[in-house]
Amino acid sequence: MEFSYSFDFQTLASHYKTGLLKPTAVVAEVFSRIHASGDDHVWTHVLPQADVMQAAQALEQRRNQRGDALPLYGLPFAIKDNIDVAGLPTTAACPAFAYIADKTATIVDALRHAGALLIGKTNLDQFANGLVGIRSPYGVSRNAIDARYIPGGSSPGSAVAVAAGLVSFAIGTDTGGSGRVPAAYNNVVGLKPTRGLLSTAGLIPVNRGVDCPSVFALTCDDAYEVLTAARGHDPLDPFSHAGDCDLDPPRRDKFRFGIPGDDKLEFFGDAAAQKAFQTNLEILKEIGGTAVEIDFAPFLEVGRLLFSGPWVAERLVPVKELFFSKSDAFHPTTRAIFERAAKLSATEVFEGIYRLAELKAQTAAEWQKMDCLVVPTTGTLYTVEAVEADSIKLNTDMGYYTYYVNLLVLCALAVPGVFRDDGLPSSISVIAPSLSDGMIRHIGASFHRKCNVTLGGTAFAQP
């Protein structure tokens, strides 16, 4: 589809300032685009247009009459359907589990207060278990770049809604890469901030002690505007913290970025992905980076703990009643995950905790060599057909570069890189220690601008 204007923040803000657009006009355009996109399996629930239009009208009056500072004024957004909004259904892509929420998640309240307009809730891998985006009874969200390819999971609808130009930004969740893998597949930015900066109150967790809300946006600065508006300590979330974190520090002219040695770089036989990554590394050097080889082995072992180790047991907590009473309500792959979770012992959990502590100490030594870690967001891109034929293995492939981040309490930013020789997108992830979010913001933004790729699946240039 061809649109007359982009939904990136800078474009909409400038149009609002000049009077060329009002939020009510943008809402009308959003619903026109959703209608034109057809059966794309992006949404599980779209709010009535009249309700969103009423909210937009109230927003215009709020600014005109009171002059409120609204950093996200008139920006349409979507949320993953494992996040509550009072009066709306929350399904987690499992109809047997669905309920009408009586409270709104803290993050949604914050975004609305900042002036953003909620459009609807998006499709996901059931209970956010997966990195492929095809484990949903609501269908497979259509990849915004090439429909033959998976959209990436477990937040496919949120990523596609942004990439397809249906909303300005979207909220997903991230346990082991669900806020980054779909970004890579759809040529958008995926921000996984330091855990605790964004509240998880009102979110159905996968691993409650590991989960983090994530942000999909068209540019790095857009993603960080969302983080700035929504961050803050929430007494309803015991894992929340205010965090001494400057989200807009002075830009660095020089930085050291770690990369895995050649023996640990994995592209799963995809030569186009490997070539694109090497080009992306050269661009990082052009913007002031110096590459440093690091020992990637302990990071990989941490990743295996998350999905092949005892942390799988934590996944059963939010769904245990339904699972033990009606296991046939689950997607077959999701059910297999929960069956394995039910067999893990407390002893295995403690052994995993001890091993994680040892591996954290090993990774700490590697951080002395680098300011940030840079890896491909995904080692390759898979088609829907390929994943349907071998879902478990290819899902694990997707997490090769992402699984370890939350267990190590790191922050990460997935950023579109150059397009591959075959016309598909590439993406790098810039990863750093806890509360280093601002530093990777500027590296990611400089890299994205230097790559000069279009926004998502649209034809619009970066602002």
Q: Which residues are catalytic?
A: 80, 154, 178
Q: Residue 14 phi/psi, 5° resolution?
A: -70, -40
| Cα 310 to Cα 297, 344, 349, 355, distances in angstroms | 19, 7, 5, 11
Distance CA 463, CA 445 (A): 12
Dihedral sign from CA coordinates of 57, 62, 67, 71: negative
Dihedral sign from CA coordinates of 449, 416, 215, 233: negative
Distance CA 11, CA 21 (A): 10
Q: How is 2-20 classified by DSSP, letter by letter?
A: --SS--SHHHHHHHHHHTS
Residues 6+ apart with CB under 8 A from 321: none
How many residues are listed for the chain in this entry? 463
Residue 140 has what DSSP assignment? P
Distance CA 191, CA 213 (A): 9
Output b/e per residue, 18-33; b: 16+ Cβ within 10 A: eeebbbbebbebbbeb
Q: Residue 343 phi/psi, 5° resolution?
A: -95, -10
Question: Which of 119, 234, 228 shows the shortest CA–CA distance to 165?
Answer: 119
Contact yes or no for 117/127 (Cβ under 8 A): no
Contact yes or no for 206/173 (Cβ under 8 A): yes
Q: Residue 208 phi/psi, 5° resolution?
A: -55, -35
Q: Looking at the DSSP assignment, which residues form a beta bridge with residue 255?
A: 289
Residue indicated by tokens 């994680």:
356
Distance CA 266, CA 65 (A): 56
